[in-house]
């Protein structure tokens, strides 16, 4: 779906599908250049990163492999406990591999700071992070992000893999939700 299909659910479009694809092609070119001669293993974080990984890897002109993890924050119903649980682990042994984590969004940074620590313990040859979106005003856990698609405001944002209550992941554009949807 595109933004006009669900216009009454949305406040404003932050980035159109075309803007997202143009930006992801730029990031892919940078990754191709940086990883020349070192085939990266792209680790997508389910579910949100499905679009990012799909478009990023197809925009790359060099070889890569893809694997997936699923994680969940829990504890008192909030992310603030700092506890992250692995729901689905990698199938690949990443020891000695050049690993690039791919995320749809970094909000507080909690998920990624856990993932980076967890994967670093498995002794990859290198470990970097790419995120399509970052909310600078929401970050509480500092994480070193090598590749960032766009910085976005600290609002309810949906589309391109980002959901609200399970919906809107299949929105091609990236938009803020209208308050009546979540209030």
In the complex with ligand PRP, which residue's Cβ is closer, 92 or 108?
A: 108
Least Å distance between CB 103 and ligand PRP?
A: 6
Residue 159 sits in the site that holds ligand PRP (CB under 6 A):
no
Contact 118, 132 (CB under 8 A): no
Instruction: Give the containing element (helix H, strand E) for 116.
Output: helix 110-120
Residues 13, 99, 105, 177: which binds ligand PRP (CB under 6 A)? 105
**Pairwise CA distance, residues 68 & 90, whole Å:** 6
Please select the residue that binds ligand PRP; options are 18, 22, 30, 47, rule is CB under 6 A. Answer: 47
Cβ neighbours, 10 Å, residue 127: 20
Give one word for 129, left, alpha or beta, with left for phi > 0 and alpha for psi -120 to 50. beta
Does residue 60 interact with ligand PRP by CB under 6 A?
A: no
Distances (CA, A) of 27 to 86, 128, 130, 176: 28, 13, 9, 23
From candidates 104, 132, 160, 171, binder to ligand PRP by CB under 6 A: 104
Q: Which is nearer to ligand PRP, 28 or 110 (CB)?
A: 110
Residue 32 or 52: the one with the smaller Cβ distance to ligand PRP is 52
99: left (phi over 0), alpha (psi -120 to 50) or beta: beta
From the candidates 55, 104, 107, 173, give the one annotated as an active-site residue: 107
Residues in the site for ligand PRP, rule: CB under 6 A? 45, 47-48, 79, 103-111, 163
């Amino acid at each position: 779906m595109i933004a006009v299909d669900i216009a009454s659910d949305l406040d404003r479009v932050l980035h159109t599908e075309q803007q997202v694809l143009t930006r992801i092609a730029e990031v892919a070119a940078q990754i191709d250049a940086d990883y020349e001669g070192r085939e990266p293993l792209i680790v997508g974080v389910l579910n949100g990163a499905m679009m990012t990984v799909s478009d990023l890897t197809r925009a790359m002109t060099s070889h890569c492999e893809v694997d997936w993890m699923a994680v969940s924050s829990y504890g008192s119903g909030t992310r603030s406990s700092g506890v992250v649980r692995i729901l689905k682990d990698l199938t690949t042994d990443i020891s000695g591999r050049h690993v690039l984590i791919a995320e749809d969004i970094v909000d507080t940074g909690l998920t990624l700071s856990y993932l980076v620590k967890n994967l670093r313990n498995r002794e990859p040859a290198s470990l970097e992070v790419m995120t399509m979106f970052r909310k600078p005003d929401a970050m509480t856990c500092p994480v070193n992000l090598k590749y960032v698609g766009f910085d976005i405001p600290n609002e309810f944002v949906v589309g391109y893999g980002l959901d609200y209550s399970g919906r809107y992941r299949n929105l091609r554009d990236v938009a803020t939700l209208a308050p009546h949807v979540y209030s």
